[in-house]
Amino acid sequence: MTYVALVADATGRYAHVYGNANSWDNYHDQLEDIGCEVIENQTSDWDGDEEAIKEDCIPFNALTSGKDFLPFD
């Protein structure tokens, strides 16, 4: 299932990040493992609209590949 999370990095920047996982808890753990502060599960706010999610949110794998993301230690 695709989940959407509102996350923050160590600089205080916020982003909507989407990714696939078996459960919200699993996705939450994945985000924390890469250094995100998970603010909220916003999956239901997107009503399963995959096109809108891909247009307006950052994919999980692109989050850490960008130079703007600063993980929490």
For the stretch 7-17, pLDDT in tens is: 999 988 999 99
- Are 72 and 30 in contact, with CB atoms under 8 Å apart? no
pTM of the model: 0.90
Q: How far apart are CA 28 and CA 24, in angstroms?
A: 6
- Are 36 and 4 in contact, with CB atoms under 8 Å apart? no
| Mean pLDDT taken over the chain | 92
Count CB neighbours of 4 within 10 A.
22
Place 4 in a pLDDT band, splitting at 50, 70 and 90: very high
Predicted local confidence at residue 56, as pLDDT: 96
- Are 38 and 26 in contact, with CB atoms under 8 Å apart? no
Domains of the chain, residue spans: 1-43
**Percent of the chain whose pLDDT exceeds 90:** 73
Does the structure show a pLDDT above 80 at 64?
Answer: no
